[in-house]
Chain A
Amino acid sequence: MKFVVKLVSAIIAMVSLAILVPPHKAQAASHYTIGTETTFVPYAIQGKDGTYNGKHPGIDMEILRAIAKNQHFTFDLKIMNFAAIVQALQSGQVDGNMAAMMVTPERQQTLDFSHTYLNAGLSLATKPGSSIKSYKDLKGKIVAVKTGSTSETYATSIQNKYGFTIHHLDSTNTEINDVTTGNADAAIDATLSLQYTIKNGMKLRLIGTQQNVHPVAFAVKKGENAALLQKFNKGLANIKKDGTYAKIMAYYTGAKAHTNANIATDRSYLGIIKANAPQFKAGITMTIKLTIVSIIIATIVGVFIGLFGVVPSRLLKGFHGVYTFIFRSIPVMVLSFFIYMGIPSLIGHKIPLFTAGVATLVLENSAYIASFVAGGIKSVDRGQMEASRSLGVTYLASMRKVIMPQAVRTMAPSFINQFIIALKGTSILSAIGLAEMTQQGTIIISQNMEGFKVWLIITAMYLVLIGCLTLLSDRVQKHYSLAN
């Protein structure tokens, strides 16, 4: 068992390293990688391009920016699901987390926190006409919360007392959608973000008073990056002194808090597409790029490992068997988490997001390719190899000239099928924050809350892409059947 674990890790590490395209830069001490989450208003608000480079990217982002400027350090942001952030910090993928993170005793076990930059509590939200007037009315109802957040912990702690069921969702916006569509009766989330959402036109009502107030702070891995923590604290004190901090807070929470420009725009399908064209485009580009790069590498790797399955060598055959079993068995999402969060702690340095995504798809798809390549070769009549060898042709030349051309013909449909699966598989990589089509959809919805329409647009985009692939495959197959 230990051997298998080592083998799997080694294989993954090898593949990941092999495609680690940009060699890892040596990082200067004043440059950091900071983890943050996808849009969580008003703390973090992604722009149309999916980044936080805009003028008003949210409280967290603006505070971090001001402190960095004050303390003369630079940073790259890693954007991911809230639940993944703590893991990323543990594995060293990021140096610090700026993600509206509440300070709790559990988190203090593994993280060191900066001084508090604001206090935040939780509120209960329902649809305006709801019969729920207080926590007591929650008996038998469904409450939506965000996975990995304090709202989840809090909801769980009072669940028995009030007798409700919990829906665990992966972002504030899906959680709010859960309430507006009626799947859930109420949501518990950060008061500030609920207020901000309501101010921006969401039809919700807050119930009762703020609960579970906690300080919110910047975090680093326990016992590490003390210097960064110190800079953050110093910078925070400075921007509080010079008024920058107050300005930022007023912008997002003051009486005249700004409203998201996106809200007022055209809500027709065409309007949504127009308003978010750069995001849709970036998503398509990323999806296509991921698919093409992955499928090319997976094909090369898969064909080789497929060949391992038929050559007369017990060692290579064994490798083929283990490889195909393992990577066909691990769910893609688990594999992506393992590579992005797990491997860095094994090899001692970070893996770029794109590389992690490609590695995931390559491992999964190459395993399937290896299986049908081996199967395709085995399906070629034994007499073909014998005839070729009886003429004095070597094993390898016989493979290349006689067996493979025939095997490829039977494999062609499987290859096309695998390309389609790889394309759809890119969607799962949104879990580690890769800004492909699905992730872009999530971001757009977090701004305009038009879940149904945006998912329909995204679906149409996948259908078009896969339609193109299918057309291509028909052509390829016609070509081959003609040659037959």
Chain B
Amino acid sequence: MLDEKIVIAKHIHKSFGDNEVLKDVSLSVHSGEVVVMIGPSGSGKSTFLRTLNGLETIDKGQVMVNGQLLYDKKVNLNQVRQNIGMVFQHFNLFPNMTILNNVIMAAISTKHFTPEKARQEAKKYLDMVDLSEKMNSYPAQLSGGQKQRVAIARALEMEPKIMLFDEPTSALDPEMVGDVLEVMQQLAQNGMTMIIVTHEMGFAKRVADRVVFFSDGMIQESGTPEEVFDRPASPRTQGFLERVLNV
């Protein structure tokens, strides 16, 4: 199983106007692998992550997820996206729906589940993130940490093959970060394939199979947590780590 590549991104180029944000980025992820991306602000981490589920257009390159080419005219993006869960920095829960409806909306709309089954599954995932008693509340009534856990449950409801996290804890008060990371760690233990952009170095060390250092629109360095954190090869990585670890 571990040899099966679930994400293959090849030679991605992307510019916003004159600003070249991704400069020939390639990355492959095996099924069940947990990849953590670190790097300075503005280096293109979010942009790259978003190219992996078609939220961003690209100028050059190829992305294959779960055996389907994303940037191909014939592909049904909606279909592909059902296999790719995404968790955003600012949660992006739907404020007009209850927690339960946030979780089941997509499953019902895409006919992934019958409404009955969708509710059953939703309860399972809300239990998992320890929020089943908030099922009938609205997002505005939840704390940041609770919101992010709902967002994870919402993504899981679609039974994705891979989960993308874009700085899932950056917008949280410090005391809420732990609960969210715990849920993510549990997911990793259950064998979920995950690509995570984060500044939580401790979490990266504990959970990552591989750490990717992003800088200036390129992957500068990539390896096991020990390799990247303890014996960084590139001076840029060293500089970055010194800055974040000493703050």
Contacts and interface: CB of A to CB of B under 8 A. Distances in A.
Interface of A: 381, 383-384, 386-394, 397, 401-402, 405-406, 409, 483-484
A383 B79 CA distance: 20
A394 B80 CA distance: 12
Given A386-B55, A401-B105, A484-B140, A392 B82 contact: yes
15 contacts: A383-B90, A384-B92, A387-B88, A388-B94, A389-B78, A389-B81, A390-B85, A391-B82, A391-B85, A391-B154, A392-B78, A392-B82, A392-B110, A406-B94, A483-B96
A392 B79 contact: yes
B96 A383 contact: no
B96 A390 contact: no
B42 interface: no
Contacts of A384: 92, 94
User: What's the interface size class on B, roughly?
Assistant: 20 to 34
Contacts of A484: 95, 140
A381 B81 CA distance: 20
B82 A386 contact: no
Contacts of B82: 391-392
B158 A391 contact: yes
Contacts of A409: 96
A393 B53 CA distance: 13
A383 B94 CA distance: 10
Interface of B: 53, 55, 78-82, 84-86, 88, 90, 92-96, 105-106, 109-110, 112, 140, 151, 154-155, 158
Contact of A391 (B79, B95, B106, B140): B106
Contacts of A386: 55, 88, 92
Nearest to A384: B92
Chain A interface SS verdict (over half) = helix
A241 B53 CA distance: 92
Given A386-B88, A401-B105, A401-B109, A391 B96 contact: no
A93 B3 CA distance: 81
A402 B94 contact: yes
A405 B140 CA distance: 16
Contacts of B112: 392
A393 B109 contact: yes
A392 B92 contact: no
Given A390-B81, A392-B79, A393-B78, A405 B106 contact: no
Contacts of A381: 92
Contact of A390 (B86, B94, B109): B86
Contact of A392 (B90, B94, B106): B106
B106 A388 contact: yes
B55 A389 contact: yes
Identify which of B95, B106, B155 gathers the most chain A CB atoms within 10 Å of its CB.
B106
A149 to B, nearest CB: 60
Contacts of B53: 390
Identify which of A386, A387, A402 gathers the most chain B CB atoms within 10 Å of its CB.
A387
A94 to B, nearest CB: 53
Contacts of B96: 402, 405-406, 409, 483
Nearest to A407: B96
Nearest to A392: B82
Contact of A393 (B84, B93, B105): B105
Contacts of A383: 88, 90, 92
Nearest to B155: A391
A402 B93 CA distance: 10
A484 B138 CA distance: 8
B106 to A, nearest CB: 4
Contacts of B85: 390-391
A136 B200 CA distance: 97
A388 B96 CA distance: 13
Contacts of B155: 390-391
Given A389-B81, A390-B86, A391-B81, A406 B106 contact: no
Contact of A397 (B81, B92, B109): B109
B246 to A, nearest CB: 32
A390 B109 CA distance: 13
Nearest to A390: B86
Nearest to B138: A484
Contacts of A402: 94, 96, 105
A123 to B, nearest CB: 70
A172 B154 CA distance: 72
A484 to B, nearest CB: 7
A392 B55 contact: no
Nearest to A483: B96
Given A391-B85, A402-B94, 15 more contacts: A381-B92, A383-B88, A383-B90, A384-B92, A386-B88, A388-B106, A389-B55, A391-B82, A391-B106, A392-B78, A393-B105, A401-B105, A402-B105, A406-B94, A483-B96
A402 B139 CA distance: 14
Nearest to B101: A401
A393 B108 CA distance: 10
A484 B53 CA distance: 31
Contacts of A389: 55, 78, 81
A397 B111 CA distance: 12
A381 B92 CA distance: 9
Contacts of B105: 388, 391, 393, 401-402
B95 A406 contact: yes
Identify which of B80, B94, B151 gathers the most chain A CB atoms within 10 Å of its CB.
B94
